[in-house]
Structure 1
Amino acid sequence: MSSKLPAGKQKPTSPFRKRGSLQYAASTDLRGGRHLLTFQYSLPGIPVAKHGPVDLRTSMDGKYKEIAEELLSRSLAESEMRSAPYEFPEDSPIEQLEERRQRLERQISQDVKYEPDILLRAKQDFLKTDSATDLEYLKEQSEAQLDLYPEHELIPEKEYQRVTISGEEQCGVPFTDLLDAAKCVVKALFIREKYMALSMQSFCRTTARYLTELGDRPLDPNAYQEMPETSVTAEAPVHPKTHPYEGLDPTSMPPDMGYSCKMIDGVVHVFTHKTNMEKATELDLPYPDLQEYIADMNVMMALIINGPVKSFCYRRLQYLSSKFQMHILLNEMKELAAQKKVPHRDFYNIRKVDTHIHASSCMNQKHLLRFIKRAMKKYPKEIVHVEKGREQTLMEVFESMNLTAFDLSVDTLDMHADRNTFHRFDKFNSKYNPIGESILREIFIKTDNHIEGKYFGHIIKEVMEDLEESKYQNVELRLSIYGRSRDEWDKLALWAVKHRVYSDNVRWLVQVPRLFDVYHTKKQLSNFQEMLENIFMPLFEVTIQPSSHPELHVFLQHVLGFDSVDDESKPEHHIFNLDSPLPASWIEEDNPPYSYYLYYTFVNMTVLNHLRRSRNFNTFVLRPHCGEAGPIHHLVSGFMLSENISHGLLLRKAPVLQYLYYLAQIGIAMSPLSNNSLFLSYHRNPLPEYLSRGLMVSLSTDDPLQFHFTKEPLMEEYSIAAQVWKLSSCDMCELARNSVLMSGFSQKVKSNWLGPNYIKEGQESNDIRRTNVPDIRVAYRFETLCEELNLITQAVRSEELETIEEEAPCMSTLHSAQ
């Protein structure tokens, strides 16, 4: 069942239509979404192939909108609750009593139907006492295991003890429930695959391969060839000899494309002429239209509260935890022995990336204190602030507070989070102000101030020097763009270039605080579209004509993507649906909901990525703060639109989403020490549970200024986690490897850190000489993921085969009658 344009009928060409939308670039199928008609590539070289019309109809079809609206209304009414309204207690985690009774009746009816086979199998199992028979049985199981992975050679059995499950209905739920759950899970994965392909973000290769096998044709053997790197990284060495901000020459920039851009209904559109708009035609830069996104969102919201799907996913997650414990019992000593055989390499000298850390708090409090004291002694007469038209020197600023350099101490700064910040995000935000004075925050940890961020640039460079000295630690720092004015990007880029704030160990992400309501109340913004224009229009302008913003063009080469930040526990007073005001019409005092921010960030980033790819520039990804607090549907938006997320604590309350995040291998940067001070005590943090189940998690610091004490906050994070949760050396090296995989460093850098084959699947991707992760652990993760993907895809395929077998006699009867 697909909707296509009639033959000979042209697509709408009006530039003010939803041009390039998936509405026209894809056809509708029964997955609840549209699939692409042509190959689309996601970074780094992950394709999304055509899929055939697999029947994914479920019992919820036609009810998605009603279910989603009911759930969103319930979360809106109970928005002040800290936990999700549909959280289930641990002692009865599956369903209500009525549903359990119905499931039991279905199981009994199936057992009765197949009772002869069940009794026969039971007798056969009982008679299998002969050792030769047992050996033959194990041999058959081993061959079946090899059949699951025909494309990958497994580690010999003597080196790796595997746990296999034999028999039918291995998942422990009735086949009808398995089939319905498998269809829902596959449908959700198809939705994510579509959005990742369209926005040029990465999608798990293994998952993509299994989804492709559900299509109407085999996978193209050339489909997984890596895309060539952009000119920004391909020709440059891993560690360039010259500083990238030296010799900036606007005349040597790429030429002007002569395009113009305009924001319409919250999305930037690009046209071929700057002056003569009547003759201008719009470039075909695809993005998902609002109607399609809302429809997919409704599908996802309905899936996560479906009873049988929750039961299935909960059971699979419990199985994954138990299987890992068995793997540790059987293979822990072998993993340790494999690590001991590797010369030179250990946990201290493998690469680690702090995938979630804010630039304004990347230093510890002692480092900031020393810098402030040094600045007071070195630059006492420097004018650093203007108060009501009167210039103030650094000495005068501190004299107005009755303070001297000698008076300052860590306790005086008062920037460390304590027990009073727990569930008090407002008190935590005030900790960013040294001595409680916002003027000191503006002087020392802001890029846009009277001294053009001089002090902040110096202290960031000192942090960079510490990282370069350690060699093996790298960070992805967040810098803020608020969207209050058009020149914010130029000021930020000028700060980086002027003060030469660059290091091979550092990459940037740009965070956009969700503070429209604050700016609108202060009359700084008239509507939400103005905020979007301030954020994205300079990026389109510098992509079209790099010489118009030369510093920004160079700075963007080291920017990885966008982050969305703020207190997620704030109550939301609006449900994002088709009746929501468009950005130009959003003039309400209430802040737009989380999904509203994320959607308009995503669509503009998608259009921008297509434009930048056409010029062979680097593209961006979306990596928001998601699931730290607030309603569960934040994680739904993150699943659909984000390459990686930060925090993800609420996945512990949503088994369906947690299972989907596992199958899609979505990166989750977790910060247990940060969570311990704000939202969740350390011993309740789900990180060890996520790690054991195989989710792509990494350790990060978030805000060392508020939460850490030492010069190496990332090592502090690892050391505390290892002590509290008794992590093994293999666990810690796996976390470090995950952090590199989910980071935004270039393919060439990752190849140097992880090995030349890191992009491949299974143990073939691992180089223990660089990662210190045993092949046994990598093989276990890969095979377990393949088993889970095989379980759901086989269920969908088996129904297709049964349907074909049932239809074949009918068709033959029909032909004979004719």
Structure 2
Amino acid sequence: MAEIQRRPSLMLDDEEDLSHERRSRLPSQVTDAPLDDTDMIALNTTYDKQIIQGQPMHLEFNGHTNPIHQEVSASQLKNHRHLDEKGCLTVFDIIGKKRAHYLKSSAQDALSSPKNDTKSWFLYPRPLPKFWKFDKDRRLQDTQDRAIENNGRPDHKGYFTTRASHADAYNQSSPTDKINLNYTGKFFELENYAEEFRNVVGPRNTTTLSYKEVVAKISPIEEFSKDFQWVLSYLVSEELNSLATKRIEYLLNRFDLFQQLEGRTEIRENRLVPHRDFYNVRKVDQNFLLSGCVSQRQLNEFIWEKLNLEPERIVYKNSEGKEFKLRQIFCNGADAKSNEDASIGLKAVDDLFLEWYQTVYLPGSHLMGRCAPAPGKDHTFFMIAKTFLEFDNCMNGEYFAELVVRYVIQSFEKSKYQLAQLSVDFQFCEDWWFKFSDWITKWKLVSYNIRWNVRLGRSYTKLHASGIVESFQDYLDYIFRPLFSSKAKNDMKLQYFLSTVCCLDLSATEGDDYVWKKFMDPQSTLPIDWSATRDNPPIAYYMFYLMEYVKQFNLMRRNNLQNPVTLRLYAPLLRSRVSQFKAGISITEQLESLICNVLLCHSGLLQAEPLWDASPAVLYLYYLLQIPVIVSPLSSVSIAQEKPKTSRADGIRDVTVQSTRFYTGNPFLQMQKIGLRVILSSNSVLFNSSYTMEPIIEEYSVAASIYLLNSADLCEFVRNSIVTSGYEGFYKAHWNGIGLTKTQFLREKIGGTDSWYDQELDTSYKHNVPTTRRLYRKDCLDREWEFIRKQVPSELCFS
């Protein structure tokens, strides 16, 4: 298949060309920038080189130093030796090998995904041309301004059509005509995608497995249990934690020293990039919850608009078939002639609703499809949530789709440089995969700026109590059985949705059931035999069997030239719960989840703040393997960090209860200083008091204002969000200049499994991260591995 090509322009006709003024803006070469009185050059003495390289900390200086600023060459990109000088593997090497074994066998690594092969993977819709802007795209202007063909249909220039035909690209009777908003996805046509799919994937789409065959291939948990216990035994050892504590402290101090010596050099390098700054580099929010993707203000404005435009529209039907008009749901079914008579103010959704929605609706009715509660305030809340924040209702999710298009998709496309992976909660109802993919394609929730994640909850006990499942095998069947059915293979709506799914996430919250009654043994109990009414399986039990089913799913899709999905896991906030995965070990659920993430999950740790307070050895391991960590400093979930206890005297004088929510308690900046792959996410703007129309920019802005972050710091966060995202390899190459093809330039190993190579010597003009910062990060990581392989105690080495 031919390599993906861009059109010259979407705004100009074929006979037109870019102006010379526009061409001059191409960042082909960087220009020299003069020094001013704020720029200083660090000394180049032997002492300075020793300090920057950390020599006095652990290595004897041999009189030879590398230049502080050195050109990236092939000699810098040599692979690390896996053995130390004694020919022994260190404990970190073995853990990395175990991680690579599980991820590669389940096809989660980057090389196993066809979507990272820019020559064979097909993108639909095709990439937009360079210099595309929302307000310059003639397709997205008002109707009277659009170019009209002779047959009366808008001219879309072939961008959401097949390469073979441009016909039937527009349907005036489409349901999306009800959503009168301009965005690129409104020109999406499922028939054109199906034609592309049959041409590219069809000849390869022959590998099929029956669900019985899949279940028969699931491995027992014993081997993973042994690996888990082996890893745990070393991560809690006194020797390793003592070593890790010193190394973490050293890395923190070394970064501060680096900033003192090279901070102005980074500023100067940023000035040498003429066309990039923080605002016009791509940034991905990797965990943007669909259930909270709009702010309270936006939701209220939308509800008030609909109340004024269509108050008499039927929007809700209860379980008995009774119909409710829009205005009636706000006054519990009573008739009212006006909004004033119904006592509906501008704040129809207040703080009481948000609390109920977060603590009652989302963990209960939202996941399990329960009937509406008894009449009263909760019933009013239920009807509001079902009407405006659900896709499966009597309106086919029209209001929710319009909310997503207006406040998420259109906002992202206007900004151009903001992207998100929207995380949707999996609901345990019949045919959820087909219903949700039908909603996506019906309302054309399609955009270059969004991809999808599917979020699972540890809700087995709630489902069992509701009679939805009888065993843990039923829980797994609800998720995976539809994906292996013959119906799924031929359903183009589902196939399109799956082509945009990046991750499968397991959520672990304080609301998960914890107390056991029967105390079943996870090591010897199969999912079909796990039928305890109150015993919620441990996190490791959930993750292992999810990984096993994802493994079979990924292998099937990879063989059919389709994208696999990867796993992610939330770190629980509570530190008081003891792990129940294996008898005889005394660790918390937090540590259990962190180890599971290391072994089984490719795409990072969600809600990663607890990592900072966990075992130092675990934190150091995440650094050495460069496992992505996703944090949300502004989210109400992540800012609930406990303050240090005050003195006894202060406690006597102060009789008030201090709030535990404070921004500076979030450890993301310390983790970034160490060198972890930190990604910022806005998580759920409905609950975190977002006051702007751009929540991800607000996230970065607050961090920059409080911690006085410079452009290099912000662009490093942003670049991490692209490199570790679920976007296709074509976009990563275009936005960051990286690929999986080996080159002589800089190499970054992400997660211990994926090696991404720069495709040219200097890629800073794409992402604006100074080369000095990137070389510093690489040098630090190289030296830490060198130290580990030379200086670790003999009891942490293996032949």
Do the structures match in fold with TM over 0.5? yes
C-alpha separation in 2, matches of 1:636 and 1:559: 25
* 1:611-658, Cα deviation, whole Å (9 max, x unpaired): 111111111011222244452211111111111121112211221111
CA separation of 1:503 and 1:472: change in aligned 2, threshold 3 A? same
Counterpart in the other structure of 1:761:
747
- For residue 480 of structure 1, report the CA deviation from its aligned partner: 1.8
- SS in structure 2 at match of 1:191: helix
Identify the residue that residue 658 of structure 1 maps to in structure 2. Answer: 619
What SS class does the counterpart of residue 562 from structure 2 fall into? Answer: coil
Aligned alpha-carbon RMSD (Å): 4.0
In 2, Cα distance between the equivalents of 1:679 and 1:427? 25
* Paired AA for residue 390 in structure 1: K
Aligned residue runs from structure 1 range 14-25, under 5 A: none
**Aligned residue among 688, 709, 715 for 1:727:** 709
1:376: which partner in 2?
307
Q: Give the equivalent residue in structure 1 for 2:101.
A: 194
Deviates more, 1:675-684 or 1:289-298: 675-684
Partner of 1:639: 598
Evaluate the alpha carbon distance shift between residue 339 and residue 446 of structure 1 in structure 2; reply closer, same or farther with a 3 A threshold. Answer: same
Q: Secondary structure at the match of 2:634?
A: helix
User: Does structure 1 residue 682 correspond to structure 2 residue 618?
Assistant: no
Counterpart of 2:693 in 1: which secondary structure? coil
How far residue 753 of structure 1 moved from its aligned partner, in angstroms, is: 1.0
2:434 alignment partner in structure 1: 490
Aligned counterpart, 2:456:
512
State the distance in 2 between where 1:303 and 1:197 align. 23
Closer/same/farther in 2, CA of residues 488 and 697 from structure 1, 3 Å limit:
same
State the 1:398 CA deviation: 2.3
Matched ranges for 1:418-429 at <5 A: none
Aligned 8 A contact 2:567 2:600 in 1: yes
Cα deviation for residue 302 of structure 1 reads 1.4
Unaligned runs of 5+ in 2: 1-46, 48-55, 78-83, 129-157, 161-186, 367-376, 576-588, 643-661, 749-756
Aligned counterparts of 2:69 and 2:75: Cα–Cα separation in 1? 9
Counterpart in the other structure of 1:546: 489
Residues 408, 327 of structure 1: CA spacing in aligned structure 2 closer, same or farther, 3 A cutoff? farther
CA 571–446 in structure 1, closer or farther in 2 if over 3 Å, else same = closer
Correspondence list, 1:137-216, <5 A: 140-142=63-65, 151-153=74-76, 183-202=90-109
Q: Are residues 1:673 and 2:634 paired? A: yes
Q: 2:350 aligns with which of 386, 403, 414?
A: 414
Match of 2:719 in 1: 737
Determine the structure 2 residue equivalent to 1:777.
773
Cα distance change of structure 1 residues 638 and 181 upon mapping to structure 2, 3 Å threshold: farther
Q: 1:398 to 1:498 in 2, by over 3 A?
A: same
Name the counterpart of 2:27: none
User: Structure 2: how far apart are the matches of 1:578 and 1:297?
Assistant: 13
1:367 to 298, 302, 307: 298
Counterpart selection for 1:442 from 386, 393, 396: 386
Task: Report the AA paired with residue 514 of structure 2.
Answer: E
The answer to whether structure 1 residue 238 and structure 2 residue 127 are counterparts is: yes
The reply on whether 1:294 has 2:210 as its aligned counterpart is no
Counterparts of 1:546 and 1:226, CA distance in 2? 19
Task: Tell me the distance in 2 between the aligned counterparts of 1:430 and 1:415.
Answer: 19
8 Å contact from structure 2 (residues 295, 685) kept in 1: yes
Question: Deviation per CA, 1:577-624, whole angstroms, max 9, x where unpaired?
Answer: 654532111211222222222111111111110111111111101122
- Structure 2 CA distance for aligned equivalents of residues 751 and 802 of structure 1: 39
Q: Is the 8 Å Cα contact of residues 569 and 601 (structure 2) preserved in structure 1?
A: yes
- The aligned amino acid for 1:261 is S
CA distance in 2, matches of 1:338, 1:460: 39
Query: Corresponding residue for 2:563?
Result: 618
In structure 2, what is the equivalent of residue 349 of structure 1? Answer: 280
Q: Corresponding residue for 1:789?
A: 785
Normalising by structure 2, report the TM-score: 0.68
1:816 aligned residue: none
1:143-173 CA distance string (max 9 Å, x none): 599999984459xxxxxxxxxxxxxxxxxxx
Structure 1 residue 696 displacement after superposition: 0.3
Residues 638 and 756 from structure 1, CA distance in 2 versus in 1: closer, same or farther, beyond 3 angstroms? closer
Query: Residue 440 and residue 368 in structure 1: after superposition, are their counterparts in 2 closer, same or farther (change >3 A)?
Result: same
CA drift at 1:795: 5.2
Report SS of the residue matched to 1:705.
coil
Question: CA 1:377–1:755 in 2, change beyond 3 Å: closer, same or farther?
Answer: same
Q: Could you tell me whether the CA contact under 8 Å between 1:181 and 1:312 is conserved in 2?
A: no
Following the alignment from structure 1 to structure 2, what is the Cα–Cα distance between the partners of residues 328 and 780?
11
- Measured in 1, the distance between the counterparts of 2:773 and 2:251 equals 14
Aligned-partner Cα distance in 2 for 1:292–1:782: 34
Q: Is the 8 A contact 1:416 1:705 kept in 2?
A: no
Shift of 1:381: 3.0
Contact 2:107-2:113 at 8 Å conserved across structures? no
| AA matched with 2:612 | R
Deviations 1:451-504 (A, max 9, x none): 12111111111120011001110010011212343x111100100011111110
Structure 1 residues 226 and 508 mapped into 2: Cα distance closer, same or farther (>3 Å)?
A: closer
For structure 1, the residue ranges without an aligned partner over 5 or more in a row are 1-124, 126-133, 155-175, 206-222, 270-284, 804-818
Residues 734 and 773 in structure 1, CA contact (< 8 A), matched pair in contact too: yes
* Alignment correspondent of 2:117: 228
Partner letter of residue 381 of structure 2? E
Higher mean alpha-carbon deviation, 456-465 vs 388-397, is at 388-397
Residue 302 (structure 2) pairs with residue 385 (structure 1): no
Contact 1:475 1:507 in 2 (8 A): yes
Contact kept in structure 2, 1:364 and 1:705, CA below 8 Å: yes
Task: Return the alpha-carbon distance in structure 1 between the equivalents of residues 433 and 295 of structure 2.
Answer: 27
1:426 offset after TM fit, Å?
6.3
User: Deviation at 1:358?
Assistant: 0.4
* Distance in 2 (alpha carbons) for counterparts of 1:338 and 1:730: 9
Counterpart Cα distance in 2 of 1:748 and 1:457: 28
Q: Which residue of 2 aligns with 1:814?
A: none
SS in 2 for 1:140: coil
- Following superposition, the deviation at residue 410 of structure 1 comes to 6.7
- The answer on whether the counterparts of 2:283 and 2:417 sit within 8 Å (CA) in structure 1 is yes
Residue-by-residue CA offset, 1:670-709 (whole Å, 9 max, x unaligned): 0011145545532221101100000000110010111112
C-alpha separation between the residues in 2 aligned to 1:656 and 1:426?
37
CA gap of 1:607–1:794, structure 2 versus 1, over 3 A, is farther
Q: Percent identity?
A: 26
Q: Distance in 2 between matches of 1:427 and 1:560?
A: 26
Whole-angstrom distance in 2 between the partners of 1:560 and 1:191: 23
The within-5 A match list for 1:50-65 is none
* Corresponding residue pairs, total: 605
* Contact 1:415/1:431 (<8 A) preserved: no
Check 1:647–1:359 CA distance in 2 against 1; reply closer, same or farther (3 A cut).
same
8 A contact 1:483–1:532 mirrored in 2: no
CA distance, structure 2, for counterparts of residue 496 and residue 324 of structure 1: 45
Q: Among 393, 397, 402, which residue is 2:329 paired with? A: 397
Q: Higher helix proportion, which one?
A: 1
1:45 maps to: none
* Distance of 1:145 and 1:226 partners within structure 2: 38
The equivalent residue for 1:268 is 215
Per-residue displacement from partner, 1:106-158 (whole Å, max 9, x unpaired)? xxxxxxxxxxxxxxxxxxx9xxxxxxxx9xx989331599999984459xxxx
CA contact 1:573–1:593 (8 Å) conserved in 2 = no
Q: Is contact 1:415–1:705 with CA below 8 Å preserved after alignment?
A: no
C-alpha distance in 2 between matches for 1:797 and 1:151: 32
Paired with 1:528 and 1:140, the residues of 2 have a C-alpha distance of 62
CA distance in 1, matches of 2:212, 2:240: 41
- How far, CA to CA, are the matches of 1:604 and 1:225 in structure 2? 19
Name the CA shift for 1:258/1:186 in 2 (closer, same or farther; >3 Å).
closer
